[in-house]
Structure formats: structure tokens, C-alpha cells
Structure 1
Amino acid sequence: MKIINEEGKLFGIINIIDLIAIIVIVLLIGGGVKRVKNSEIEVQEKVEGIEKEALIKFEAEKLKKNVVDEIVVGDILYHNEKETTFGKIVDKKVEEQKDKPDFYKVVISIESKVEDTPKAIIIGDSETRVGSEFVLKNKRVKLAGTVISMEVK
């Protein structure tokens, strides 16, 4: 008895290409079942923090004059994507950008309620650190910038 006959069938029963396809399908199904069965659901533990007051300095660059004028002390700023409150503007410092005429850099001081946890300072639902980049907005203005300092009280 030949292993592969004239018709290309293995032991005269099944075509060799069909057999390879069946083996590949069985291996893929077996691997998928094993992966799903062995995967652990990772649950991140919610670490409760202490609510505190903080003074955040936020810097935005390359702003036109009309945008700078809409940044008003006393206004509330919100995270653009999450719609959570970031804080209240308590001061703004404006300086013209030396390399780009008609553009300004603004440093905004923001009073914020933060959650101080062992892992991070949380404002709204976002972990916030010096160097964090956010888009903040209110009904008048939308700003992309960077947190340049945080003073938690």
C-alpha cells in the first residue's frame, strides 16, 4: 500500500492538502481555547486618596491674541475628553513669543480639588503630573498645554 496514491490521497483516504488545512484549524482552535482558559482578568485596585486643594500651573503656547483674551480669571476649566472639572482660573500671565510674532505663551494658575493617592495626584478622573499634557476647555476657549508645576496643600 502506497502512502500517497495516484489521486494524491494519503493512504487512499484524504487529500494531503485537506489534511494540512484540518490540522491548522484544529491547532488554531486549540490555541485559542488554551489562551482564553489561561487568561486572568486583571482587576486594578482602586486606591482611595485624600481630597486636597492644589495650585496647578498650566502653560499653553502659540496662542493668538483673541484666544488669550478669552482666558478669564474666575472661569472654570474642564478636561476636554472626560468632561470632568479641572479647576478654577485664579491668575494668568501672558508673554509674547519671541520666535513667533503675534503669538503668545500663557501660564495659567488653577485652583483645583485633587485626590492625593500614593500612586498619583488625580484631578477629575485623570492622573496628573508635572509634564502631563491636556486639552482644557470651557464655554469660551479650548487650550492644549502642559502642567508645569503642582503645589498640593
Structure 2
Amino acid sequence: MRLLDEKGKIFGLVNVIDATVILVVLLIIAGAVYKLLLPKTYTPPTEVQFVVRVPALPPESARMVKVGDRMVAGANYVPVTVKHVTVEPAFSTETDAAGRKVAARDPYFKDLVVTLEGSIPITTAQIKLGNQEIRAGRDYFLKSLTYEFKGTIIKVTLIPSQDKPAP
């Protein structure tokens, strides 16, 4: 018995195109069953603590940020809260009498250094809290119900959970 006869049927039973369609459908079903029946892995949440520097704010704006403020993304609260706030005179650069650039403190504007904390299971090579990527050097929008400031993340600390995985 030949594999393919003169009518294009495999072993004289099934057309080649029909066999291909049946094989593709069976592979799709097998993939779906595998995905659905695959045991779920549990990734314990990791506490993410990060520090954001917001430069050169008017003093009235700098006073708005308080410990305990919850951050907002879009129209929803996200699991990020303010843990510590430091207000300091803003850095600026001035030109001295010799024409050199020197660092100086601005007498009016303030820099905010805000420590924020959130908890999330980290399953990829990216930390995202409230739709913002958390990585030192990236911009971060410090946004609550009553304010929104743009700063830069200057430090990220990961504190792994002590929870044991669920059975």
C-alpha cells in the first residue's frame, strides 16, 4: 500500500489537506489543554521601596506631600504609599566671578526626596507599580488625589517576602 495514492489521499483514506487541518486543530486543542491544566505557580510578593527626587518645587507644593499618601494611576489607587518625605533647599548651578559653574542652594525652591513603598509579585525582569516602571534613573510621576509632580527614581531596594508559597 502506497502512502499517497493517485487521488491525493493518505493510505487511500484521508485527503492531504483534510489531514493537515485536523492536525492543526488537534495541536491547538492540545496546547489549550496544556495551558489550562498546567499547575499554577505562586510567586510571593516582593516589597519594593524606592526613593524619588522631585526637583525645584515652590514651598507650597512641597508641603502637600505627606507620609501615608496613596499613589494614583489613571483614575485608580495603586498599592504604593509614601513612607518618608524630606524637604530640602533646591540645588541650582550658578556662575561665579571667574565664569565657573558652581553648585548652589536656591533660597526659595525646594527639592523633595520621597521614599515610597509597594508590594508586587515580580515574575519578569521588570518591576511595575501602578503602570510605572520602577528602576533607578527613570522618571516617576508622584501622583496622588491632590497633586502630581515629576521626579527621578534615585534608589530601589527589594525586600523579598518571608511568606511561604501556598501549596
Tell me, yes or no, whether TM beats 0.5. yes
Question: Matched residue pairs, number?
Answer: 105
Pair 1:88 & 2:81 matched: yes
**Residues 132 and 140, structure 2, Cα contact 8 Å, conserved in 1:** no
Q: Displacement, 1:139?
A: 2.0
Q: CA separation of 1:66/1:85 partners in 2, compared to 1, >3 Å: closer, same or farther?
A: same
Name structure 2 gaps, 5 residues minimum: 1-41, 93-105, 160-167
Alignment of 1:1-153 (within 5 A): 50-79=44-73, 81=74, 83=76, 85=78, 87-99=80-92, 100-153=106-159
State the TM-score, normalizing by the size of structure 1. 0.60
Mapped to 2, the partners of 1:127 and 1:98 lie a distance apart of: 26
Paired with 1:108 and 1:139, the residues of 2 have a C-alpha distance of 16
Shift of 1:132: 1.4
Task: State the identity as a percent.
Answer: 21
Structure 1 consecutive aligned stretches of length 4 or more whose deviation exceeds 6 Å? none
Q: CA RMSD in A?
A: 2.1
Deviation digits for residues 75-111 of structure 1 (CA, Å, limit 9, x no counterpart): 11223x5755161111011110242331111110111
TM-score, scaled to structure 2? 0.55
Structure 1: gaps of 5 or more residues: 1-47
The answer to which structure has the higher strand fraction is 2
Shift of 1:69: 0.7
User: Does the CA contact (< 8 Å) of 1:115 and 1:122 recur in 2?
Assistant: no
